[in-house]
Amino acid sequence: MAHAPAVAHGGAHVTSTGTENRKLLMWIFLGSECLFFGSLIATYLVFKHQVIERGIGPFPIDVTIDGKVEHGIFDIPLTSTSTFVLLMSSVTMVLAVYGAHQHRLKMMKLGLLSTMLLGLVFLGFQVYEFRTFGHEGLNLTTNMFGATFFLLTGFHGTHVGVGVLYLGSLLAASFRRNGLGRETGEHVEIAGLYWHFVDIVWIVIFTVLYLIP
Amino acid sequence: MRAVLTARHRTGDRARPGTTRGLRRWAAPLALVVLALALVGCDAPMSTSEIEGSWNKEVWKPYWVILILAGIVFVVIMAATLVLPLMYRERPGREARQIHGNTKFEVVWTIIPVAIVLIMMVPTLDSVFKLDEKPPANALKVEVIGHQWWFEFRYPDLDVVTANELHVPEGRVVDYALRSVDVIHSFWVPQLAGKVDMVPGRDNRMAFSALRARAEPYLGQCAEFCGTSHANMRFRVFVHTAEDFDRWAKAEAADRVSSVSRTAEEAFLAAPCLGCHTVRGTDAAGIAGPDLTHIGARTTIGSGLLDNTPAELKRWIANSPAVKPGSKMPPMAQSAGGTLTDEQINVIIGYLQSLK
Amino acid sequence: MATIAGTLAQPTQSGVWSWITTVDHKRIGVLYGVTGFSFFLWGGVLALLMRTQLAVPNGTVIESDRFSQLFTMHALTMIFLAIMPMGAGFFNYMIPLMIGARDVAFPRLNALSYWTFLGGAMILSLSFLFEAPGGGWFNYAPLSERPYSDGLGIDFYVVGLLTLGLSSLMAALNFAVTIINLRAPGMTMMRMPVFVWMTFVISILLILALPPLTVGLIQLLFDRQFGTHFFIATEGGDPLLWQHIFWIFGHPEVYILILPAMGIVSEVLPTFSRKPLFGYPAIVFSGIAIGVLSWVVWSHHMFTTGMGSVPRAVFAVNTMIIGVPTGIKVFNWLATLYGGSIRFTTAMYFAVAFIATFTIGGISGVMHASPPVDSQHQDTYFVVAHLHYVLFGGAIMGIFSGIYYWFPKMTGRFLGETLGRWHFWLLFIGMQMTFFPMHFLGIAGMPRRIYTYDDGLDWGFWNMFATIGSYVLAVSLLFFIWNFFRSMRREPSAPANPWDAPTLEWGTSSPPPEHDFDAIYTVRSREPLWYDRDHGIAAPVATGEHIHLPPPSYYPILIAIGITLLGVGALSHLAISALGGVIAFYGVWGWALEPTD
Ligand code: HEA
Ligand code: HEA
Ligand code: CUA
Ligand SMILES: [Cu+2]
* pLDDT tens string C439-449: 999 999 999 99
Q: Report yes or no on C565 lying in a domain.
A: no
Q: Is the CB of B78 under 6 A from ligand 1?
A: no
Instruction: Specify the DSSP class assigned to residue B292.
Output: -
Q: Which atom of ligand 3 is nearest to the CA of B224?
A: 2
Q: Say which of B49, B67, B201 has its CB closest to residue C233.
A: B201
Q: Do chains B and C touch (3 or more CB pairs under 8 A)?
A: yes
Cα–Cα distance between B293 and B285 in angstroms, integer? 10
Q: Is the pLDDT of residue C2 over 60?
A: no
Whether B127 and B149 map to the same domain: the answer is no
Please list, in sequence order, all residues whose beta carbon lies within 8 angstroms of the beta carbon of residue A159, skipping any fewer than 6 positions away.
A33, A198, A201
Cα–Cα distance between B349 and B351 in angstroms, integer? 5
Contact B88 C340 (CB under 8 A): yes
CATH of the domain at C460: 1.20.210.10
CATH of the domain at A154: 1.20.120.80
Protein residue with its CA nearest to atom 45 in ligand 2: C44
Q: Which of B222, B250, B278 is the last residue of a domain?
A: B250
Contact A36 C211 (CB under 8 A): yes
- All residue ranges of chain A with pLDDT < 50 are 1-12
Instruction: Please state which of the ranges A31-35, A207-211, B13-17, C573-577 shows the lowest mean pLDDT.
Output: B13-17
Whether B219 and B307 map to the same domain: the answer is no
Q: Report yes or no on B334 lying in a domain.
A: yes
Domain that holds residue A191: 21-211
Q: Measure the CA angle with vertex C537, ends C532 and C538; round to 5°.
A: 110
| C-alpha closest to that of C527 among C266, C144, C199, C225 | C266
pTM above 0.90, yes or no: yes
pLDDT of res. A178: 64
Q: Report yes or no on B41 lying in a domain.
A: no
Report whether C369 contacts C400 (CB < 8 A). Answer: no
Q: Report yes or no on C587 lying in a domain.
A: no
Q: Report yes or no on C583 lying in a domain.
A: no
* Residues C489/C495/C496/C500 CA torsion (nearest 10 deg): -120
Q: Report yes or no on B295 lying in a domain.
A: yes
Q: Is the pLDDT of residue C99 over 90?
A: yes
User: Which has more pLDDT, C352 or C537?
Assistant: C352
Whether B198 and B158 map to the same domain: the answer is yes
Distance from CA of C283 to the nearest CA of A (A): 23
Strand partners, B306: B301
pLDDT in tens, A131-173: 999 998 888 888 899 999 999 999 999 999 999 999 998 898 8
pLDDT of res. B24: 47
Q: Report yes or no on B298 lying in a domain.
A: yes
Whether B199 and B283 map to the same domain: the answer is no
Q: Report yes or no on C433 lying in a domain.
A: yes
Cα–Cα distance between C403 and C413 in angstroms, integer? 12
Cα–Cα distance between C268 and C501 in angstroms, integer? 9
Q: Report yes or no on B302 lying in a domain.
A: yes
Q: Is the pLDDT of residue B32 over 60?
A: no
Please list, in sequence order, all residues whose beta carbon lies within 8 angstroms of the beta carbon of residue B270, skipping any fewer than 6 positions away.
none
Distances (CA, A) of C146 to A51, B200, C128, C221, C239: 22, 15, 19, 10, 13
The catalytic residue positions of C are 74, 103, 137, 167-168, 251, 253, 255, 266, 300-301, 326, 329, 448
Whether B176 and B111 map to the same domain: the answer is no
Report whether C196 contacts C176 (CB < 8 A). Answer: no
Whether B216 and B296 map to the same domain: the answer is no
Cα–Cα distance between C340 and B94 in angstroms, integer? 8
Q: Which chains touch B (3 or more CB pairs under 8 A)?
A: C
CATH of the domain at B317: 2.60.40.420
Q: Report yes or no on B280 lying in a domain.
A: yes
Residues B336-341, mean pLDDT to the nearest whole number: 91
Count: domains in chain B: 3
Judging by beta carbons within 10 Å of its beta carbon (0-12, 13-18, 19+), is residue B112 exposed, middle or buried? middle
Q: Which atom of ligand 3 is nearest to the CA of B227?
A: 2
**Residues listed for chain C:** 597
Nearest chain B alpha carbon to C61:
B2
Judging by beta carbons within 10 Å of its beta carbon (0-12, 13-18, 19+), is residue C202 exposed, middle or buried? buried
Contact B127 C372 (CB under 8 A): yes
Q: Measure the CA angle with vertex C332, ends C329 and C333; round to 5°.
A: 85
Q: What is the mean pLDDT of chain B?
A: 87
| C-alpha closest to that of C468 among C530, C426, C525, C414 | C426
**Residues listed for chain A:** 213
Domain that holds residue C69: 3-553
Count: domains in chain A: 1
Judging by beta carbons within 10 Å of its beta carbon (0-12, 13-18, 19+), is residue A30 exposed, middle or buried? middle
Strand partners, B218: B237
Task: Give the DSSP H/E element, type plus range, for residue B163.
Answer: strand B160-163
Question: C292 pLDDT band (50/70/90 cuts)?
Answer: very high
Pairing mode, if any, of strands B234-240 and B165-169?
A: parallel
Q: What is the mean pLDDT of chain C?
A: 93
Whether B224 and B267 map to the same domain: the answer is no
Q: Report yes or no on A10 lying in a domain.
A: no
Q: Which 3 state secondary structure label does DSSP give C447?
A: strand
Half-sphere exposure of B138 (CA within 13 A, CB side): 4
Q: Report yes or no on C315 lying in a domain.
A: yes
Q: Report yes or no on B6 lying in a domain.
A: no
Residues C78-104, mean pLDDT to the nearest whole number: 95
Cα–Cα distance between C109 and C91 in angstroms, integer? 14
Q: Report yes or no on A115 lying in a domain.
A: yes
Q: Report yes or no on A159 lying in a domain.
A: yes
Q: Report yes or no on B120 lying in a domain.
A: yes
Amino acid at C38: S
**Residues listed for chain B:** 356
Report whether C550 contacts C101 (CB < 8 A). Answer: no
Q: Say which of B110, B182, B202 has its CB closest to residue C306.
A: B202
Please list, in sequence order, all residues whose beta carbon lies within 8 angstroms of the beta carbon of residue C155, skipping any fewer than 6 positions away.
C221, C224, C570, C571
Neighbours of ion ligand 4 (CB under 5 A): C 251
| Preceding amide of B123 cis, omega within 30 | no
Whether B241 and B335 map to the same domain: the answer is no
Please list, in sequence order, all residues whose beta carbon lies within 8 angstroms of the beta carbon of residue C547, skipping any fewer than 6 positions away.
C3, C4, C8, C102, C515
Q: Which chains touch C (3 or more CB pairs under 8 A)?
A: A, B
Q: Report yes or no on C589 lying in a domain.
A: no
Protein residue with its CA nearest to atom 1 in ligand 3: B185
> What are the helix and strand counts (H, E) for chain A?
5, 2
Domain that holds residue B72: 48-86+105-133
Q: Which 3 state secondary structure label does DSSP give B174?
A: strand
Count: domains in chain C: 1
Q: Report yes or no on A15 lying in a domain.
A: no
Whether B298 and B327 map to the same domain: the answer is yes
| C-alpha closest to that of C19 among C31, C9, C10 | C31
Cα A38 from chain centre: 14
Cα–Cα distance between C522 and A139 in angstroms, integer? 61
Half-sphere exposure of B115 (CA within 13 A, CB side): 8
Whether B276 and B291 map to the same domain: the answer is yes
Whether B121 and B152 map to the same domain: the answer is no
